[in-house]
Amino acid sequence: MSRAFNFSAGPATLPEPVLLQAQSELLEWNNAGASIVELSHRGPEFIQVAAEAERDLRALMSIPEDYAVLFLQGGATAQQALIALNFANPGQTVDYVVTGHWGKTALKQVKPYVNANIAANGEADGFRTIPARDTWALSKDAAYVHYTANETIHGVEFRDIPDTGDVPLIGDFSSSIVSEPLDVSKFGVIYAGAQKNLGPVGVSVVIVKRELLERAGQPRAEIFDYRAHVKGESMLNTPPTWNWYLAGLVFKWMLAEGGVEEFAKRNDRKSKLLYSVIDNSGGFYRNEVATAARSRMNVPFFLKDEALDKPFLKQAQDAGLISLKGHRALGGMRASIYNAMPEEGVQALAAFMQDFQQRHG
């Protein structure tokens, strides 16, 4: 058996030690007589797993006490809709900064509920830049400002936290959470689907400033109510226990490896290496995103000659480098290099790309 280096954008590669631990605990967790996935979410075993996952994520991200942490079903897309239901009152405007595909999705999810203002939009530019903060047309009494910290498809990432004054900032961090230190206190809400940087698909993390939970929001069922989820400790109904457990193992692995400071360094080295191969290829490879907005997590790139796309993918696969095909919206290639992608994986990809260029350039 040989595991390839897997550059999938999500679901994405998981740390091998985490998979091995899950494997060793699959039949019986911690002398419980059963797998953790077979036990009640209200039993002492899973309560321990859940509490440790929250404690470890709080430690990893230095989440202040006045923020609640939720582990919910529905993926990031469901959170995009719930945000409007929970934090915008009827008639209130919300501001959206759109820098790629997921910003558009976020906007689409709230349209049925609220009056959404597009404060800035990078689409005219093909989503290759981040509109400068001083060009944003923010509304006066917006309920919140939403942005996408890292655009997974377009490979566009904010390198600092936009200042929105007193208006709460809501960040979709699905593909960049825990990739570097982050000042959580600057946010109203941070949310992320797990399947990029946190674990397997099926659970989302929502980090919400408690004072926002006092907002009335829109009429909604209890199951769509963050306040109720906080009160119910993310167990209003049966939570995705397996996913929560695996995310917890990822948090422990990250802490053991040195935490977000260490991963920030690795991610910096990995992305710099890939961009340098692309930029030094004399146009054989190209990435079109403005340098200052380039993502450290997702590196889309194109070959000079599209006819080489198929051989590139085939030969990469033969070399143990998989899932490099770009998103259908963009074409070309994309290398997703989240925390769990080892540096050796990116080094192997860089070497392959240079070798491929030598043979086909």
Ligand X SMILES: *Cc1c(COP(=O)(O)O)cnc(C)c1O
Q: Is 77 labelled a binding residue? A: yes
Dihedral of alpha carbons 208, 213, 216, 218, sign: positive
Q: Give the count of alpha carbons within 13 A of 38, CB side only.
A: 10
Q: Is 93 labelled a binding residue? A: no
Rounded to the nearest whole angstrom, what is the least distance from the CB of residue 175 to ligand X in the complex?
A: 4
Contacting residue, 36, 76, 94, 299, with ligand X by CB under 6 A: 76
Q: What is the DSSP letter of 294?
A: B
Distance set, CA 238 to CA 120, 211, 302 (Å)? 39, 26, 43
Contacting residue, 5, 102, 144, 356, with ligand X by CB under 6 A: 102
CA–CA separation, 353 and 21 (whole Å): 33
Contacting residue, 56, 95, 172, 225, with ligand X by CB under 6 A: 172
Contact 11, 336 (CB under 8 A): no
Q: Is 152 labelled a binding residue? A: yes
Among residues 45 and 172, whose Cβ is nearest to ligand X?
172
Rounded to the nearest whole angstrom, what is the least distance from the CB of residue 297 to ligand X in the complex?
A: 9
Task: Quote the tokens at residue 270.
Answer: 């990995």
72 binding ligand X? (CB under 6 A): no
Residues 196, 209, 270, 325: which is the catalytic one? 196
Residues 56, 95, 172, 225: which is the catalytic one? 172
Q: Looking at the DSSP assignment, which residues form a beta bridge with residue 206?
A: 70, 191
Region binding ligand X by CB under 6 A among candidate stretches 25-33, 73-81, 240-248, 322-330: 73-81
Q: What are phi and psi of 357, to 5 degrees?
A: -65, -40
155 binding ligand X? (CB under 6 A): no
CA–CA separation, 77 and 110 (whole Å): 10
Catalytic residue at 196? yes
Residue labelled with tokens 């605990």: 25
Region binding ligand X by CB under 6 A among candidate stretches 70-78, 116-124, 225-233, 239-247: 70-78
Task: Quote the tokens at residue 95.
Answer: 């501001």
Rounded to the nearest whole angstrom, what is the least distance from the CB of residue 196 to ligand X in the complex?
A: 6
Dihedral of alpha carbons 35, 37, 41, 46, sign: positive
Catalytic residue at 244? no
Catalytic residue at 102? yes
Contacting residue, 174, 179, 218, 241, with ligand X by CB under 6 A: 174
CA–CA separation, 210 and 217 (whole Å): 14
Among residues 10 and 122, whose Cβ is nearest to ligand X?
10
Region binding ligand X by CB under 6 A among candidate stretches 14-22, 71-79, 81-89, 215-223: 71-79
3-state SS class at 264: helix
197 binding ligand X? (CB under 6 A): no
Rounded to the nearest whole angstrom, what is the least distance from the CB of residue 156 to ligand X in the complex?
A: 10
Contact 109, 80 (CB under 8 A): yes
193 binding ligand X? (CB under 6 A): yes
Contacting residue, 92, 148, 234, 323, with ligand X by CB under 6 A: 148
C-alpha closest to that of 156 among 186, 129, 122? 129
Task: Quote the tokens at residue 102.
Answer: 């997921």
Contacting residue, 152, 179, 234, 357, with ligand X by CB under 6 A: 152
Rounded to the nearest whole angstrom, what is the least distance from the CB of residue 172 to ligand X in the complex?
A: 5
Helix, strand, coil share of the chain (percent; to 5):
40, 15, 40
Contact 54, 71 (CB under 8 A): yes
CA–CA separation, 285 and 361 (whole Å): 10
The footprint of ligand X on residues 36-55 (CB under 6 A) is: none
Region binding ligand X by CB under 6 A among candidate stretches 40-48, 169-177, 284-292, 344-352: 169-177
Strands, sheet with 298-303, edge to edge from the N-terminal-most edge strand: 285-286, 298-303, 333-336
Contacting residue, 11, 75, 320, 361, with ligand X by CB under 6 A: 75
Residue closest to ligand X, measured at CB: 75
Which residues form the interface with ligand X (CB under 6 A)? Answer: 10, 75-77, 102, 148, 152, 172, 174-175, 193, 196
Binding residues for L-glutamate: 42
Binding residues for pyridoxal 5'-phosphate: 76-77, 102, 152, 172, 195, 237-238
**Enzyme catalytic residues:** 102, 172, 196
